Amino acid sequence: MRIVVLVSGSGSNLQAVIDAVADGSLPVTIAAVGADRPGTGGVERARNAGIASFEVDFRQYDDRADWNRALTEAVAAYEPDYVVSSGFMRIVDQHFLDRFPNRYLNTHPALLPSFPGAHGVRDALAYGVKVTGCTVMIADAGVDTGPILAQAPVAVLPEDTEETLHERIKVEERRLLIATLGSLAAGGTGAA
């Protein structure tokens, strides 16, 4: 199974996938890593691992649709079976989703459908939940509304801050993403 991983930041989830592929526990090929801007840690991690990389800098496009078309073509050039959003902080449009139907995976640091959006960890803490977690889903045109493939709970501790809770969620998110990719590679449904 071939994947393209999209990143916007440091690429910690990406590194977990790279490590699992390298140690033989994840039977996928990372065809390429793409970013929405230059200078991301994720692209640097890809280069260090000998993985092809590309950048489709959002700031270089006057129109969001033009950027989406360019991103779609850049990803499609690597012929992925799945595209993985790994801390990719851009919303893709319908053109992209149509090119990779039911094949664009996203992770989210909450147990969806609770706490969608960019601040899932902060929102969970503010609401006062005792358990939150992470979700791997098929991304659709909504904000964190696609079909859920897998979820894992993470307890909220009394002393948690947004940062400490998010770090514990990230550990579980990495495990869940790798398990989900492994299930998909084995012909499963992605439920992990």
Residue 120's pLDDT is 96
192: pLDDT strictly greater than 70: no
Please report, to the nearest 10 degrees, the dihedral formed by the alpha carbons of residues 47, 29, 97, 74 taken in order.
Answer: 40
Q: Tens of pLDDT along 8-59?
A: 999 989 999 999 999 999 999 999 999 999 999 999 999 999 999 999 999 9
Catalytic residue, candidates 95, 108, 119, 166: 108
Helix (H) or strand (E) holding 3: strand 2-7
* DSSP assigned state of 67: H
Percentage of the residues of the chain whose pLDDT score is greater than 70: 99
Q: What is the largest CA-CA distance in the chain?
A: 48
Average pLDDT score over residue span 82-99:
94
At 140, the pLDDT band (50, 70, 90 cuts) reads very high
User: How many CA atoms does the CB half-sphere of 35 hold within 13 Å?
Assistant: 20
**Rounded-to-integer distance, Cα 94 and Cα 116, Å:** 19
Residue 142's pLDDT is 87
Give the contacts of 159 (CB within 8 A, at least 6 positions apart): none
pTM of the prediction? 0.94
CB-count exposure of residue 127 (10 Å: 0-12, 13-18, 19+):
exposed
Catalytic annotation present for 95: no
Q: Which two tokens stand for residue 69?
A: 């078309």
**Pairwise pLDDT comparison (87 vs 159), residue with the higher score:** 159
Residue 87's pLDDT is 86
